[in-house]
Amino acid sequence: MERDIVVELSSKGYWPATAMEYLRKREYSKAVELCTIRLKDYPDLVSGRVVLARALYHSGQSESAEQEFYRVLRRDPDNLVALKYLGDLKFGQGDEATAFSYYMKVLEIDPQTGGLASLLEQEEAQKTHVLTLKRGQEKETSKIGRLREIPFKTETMGDLLLKQGHSRLALEIFRELADESQDQRLVEKYEKTRQSLNMKEKNDVSKSN
């Protein structure tokens, strides 16, 4: 049987692999300490920053973990681990639309990925959720303020949100894409979505009166 690559690299002094061994053993504080010290000398080392972010996440330091995963994406925008964990973080915060966009980005990069399954088991005390975007009446813009920021705005993302009943979020994506590209097809899709949303709101008002 081949020797585990993490163990092999750790034995050769590669510190991110040593931190990964701590992570596997759930010795999160040791992983955080090692990564924090070594990243002072190697701040752009993505592998070390990923391990740090994961250790923070699994030790319950969600805010710090989120910041670290964003740092990873600034250096490696297609990092599947960071995208997956950010999806988990956003879902845990109740922001299903943004979580969904991160998960879809993972699938866009690698449709056959197994990256949507955590390599580490969830803690028993941690509540398990299933991400389902249900169709329902959306709140008026005046009540929710600005629409939540969607990090990956593509036509496919807009279509999926529209299909799931998140018309306002889909409309925002179509508007930005149409403005940027000046593609007549996207302009027409935006206008059609806008008219459909306006009609729905008028019907909702009529029913409430």
Percent of the chain having pLDDT more than 70?
73
Contacts 24+ apart (CB under 8 A), 23-27: 23/51, 23/54, 23/55, 23/58, 23/120, 24/120, 26/58, 26/120
**pLDDT over 70 at 130, yes or no:** no
Lowest mean pLDDT among 13-22, 51-60, 105-114, 146-155: 146-155
* Predicted pLDDT at 153: 60
Q: What is the mean pLDDT of residues 189-202?
A: 84
* Predicted pLDDT at 156: 67
Domain range summary for the chain, segments of one domain joined by +: 1-76, 133-209
Confidence of residue 27 (pLDDT cuts 50, 70, 90): very high
- State how far the Cα of 70 lies from the Cα of 98, in Å rounded to an integer: 14
- State how far the Cα of 84 lies from the Cα of 86, in Å rounded to an integer: 5
Residue 139 CB burial class (10 angstroms; 0-12, 13-18, ≥19):
exposed
Please tell me which residue, 118 or 50, carries the higher pLDDT value.
Answer: 50
Q: Which residues contact 38 (CB under 8 A, 6 or more apart)?
A: 15, 45, 48
Tens of pLDDT, residue by residue over 50-78, are: 999 999 999 999 999 999 999 999 999 88
* 101 within 8 A of 86, measured Cβ to Cβ: no
- State the alpha helices, DSSP H only, in the chain: 5-11, 15-24, 28-39, 46-58, 62-75, 80-92, 96-109, 141-144, 155-163, 167-181, 184-208
Cα dihedral 105, 110, 114, 120 sign: negative
For the structural domain made of 1-76, what CATH number should be given? 1.25.40
* 59 within 8 A of 90, measured Cβ to Cβ: no
- Structure tokens given for 33: 């300490």
Tens of pLDDT, residue by residue over 138-193, are: 443 333 333 444 555 667 667 766 776 777 877 887 888 888 778 888 888 888 88
Q: Which of 51, 52, 116 is nearest to 84 (CA)?
A: 116
* Predicted pLDDT at 9: 83
